[in-house]
Amino acid sequence: MRSYLFSPGDQPKKLEKAMSSGADAVLIDLEDSISTARKAEARKIAAGFLREVHATPNRPRLFVRVNGHETGLIDADLDAVMAGKPDGILLPKAEGGVSVMHLDAKLAVREAVNDIADGATKIMALATETAAAMFVGGTYKGSSARLIGLTWGAEDLSAELGAEANRDKDGHFLDPYRLARSICLTAAAAASVQAVDTVYVDYRNEAGFRRETEEGRRDGFTGRMAIHPAQVPIINEVFTPTTAAIEHARRVIAAFAAADGAGTVGIDGLMYDRPHLVRAQQVVARAKAAGLA
């Protein structure tokens, strides 16, 4: 999945609009965009929406961002939405593999209660929203077969750090948040799951958003979260391999296949080794996921 669009769980019209945004996944939010007074109502609306659209053909995948373990609200969230059979849960303020294990256990019980196949509900974790989370990125590996991705956030982390800002005057992340980004990227690679880049809150700044999204792809992220439908087409474009990239990747793969186990191959006067083959295979895999190969 390339694009993950947030939509408040208590606003049916925005949820309906998100379904036609072109996003690969819609993130139904029960956490930060919902006030305490609206939590119960948001659960009801989200659960009803899930039941209504579950059987819709060719729909985006549906994830619910629940409230974190530490809030005491996560069980009520799961009790409400699991009857609607979401494709996955986005776990905020995760602090390593233990947090994912706890969610896995909660999901297993509710899958059984709601006649959902064991393990069908996937997990994505927000891996850098607390200071403690920054020290346990390497523990996600093997924590749960449900875990499909890690993403990161700067807003909650900056609040916990007591920072005045998380970006400089030019819109670039400051050092603590660049570290969080790197931890998310390396933790995802270590756990063999997707690395998903964070939101860009200045949604009217298309140039800045595109630049940062392209930088994310360059560094190894394969998807991004969005806070506005207008960001979705840019995310999908940036994270969909171009025709030229796909063709080049196929040439690299074919050259290694013809080289009978060689560690390096030459193409058009350039030398390619095994890491280039891995990257080429990743490009083709992303193209297939986008329906291009």
Q: How many domains are contained in the chain?
A: 2
The 10s digit of each residue's pLDDT in 47-67 is 999 999 999 999 999 999 999
> Per-residue pLDDT tens for 67-82?
999 999 999 999 999 9
Q: Distances from the Cα of 106 to the Cαs of 72, 78, 102, 126, in angstroms? A: 13, 8, 6, 18
Backbone phi and psi for residue 5, each to the nearest 5 degrees, phi listed first:
-100, 120
Q: What residues make up the domain containing 67?
A: 3-238
- Whether 155 and 34 share a structural domain: yes
pLDDT band at 88 (very low <50, low <70, confident <90, very high): very high
State mean pLDDT over 189-197.
97
Q: What is the rounded distance in angstroms from the CA atom of residue 153 to the CA atom of residue 162? A: 15
Please tell me whether residues 189 and 263 are part of one structural domain: no
Query: Are residue 43 and residue 81 in the same domain, yes or no?
Result: yes
Alpha-carbon gap, residue 285 to 291, rounded angstroms = 10
Averaged pLDDT score across all residues of the chain: 95
pLDDT in tens, 262-283: 888 899 888 988 888 888 988 8
- For residue 224, the domain's CATH number is 3.20.20.60
Tokens of 278: 């891995």
Residue 38 has pLDDT above 90, yes or no: yes
Nearest to 65 by CA among 4, 24, 134, 146: 4
Asked whether residue 138 falls in the same domain as residue 205, the answer is yes
For residue 256, the model assigns a pLDDT of: 87
Q: Can you give the pLDDT at residue 293?
A: 64
Supply the pLDDT for residue 262. Answer: 83
Q: Are 250 and 12 in contact (CB under 8 A)?
A: no
Residues 247 and 206 in one domain: no
pLDDT at 90: 98
Contact call for residues 73 and 67 (beta carbons, < 8 A):
yes
Look at residue 114 and tell me whether its pLDDT is greater than 90: yes
pLDDT of residue 260: 81
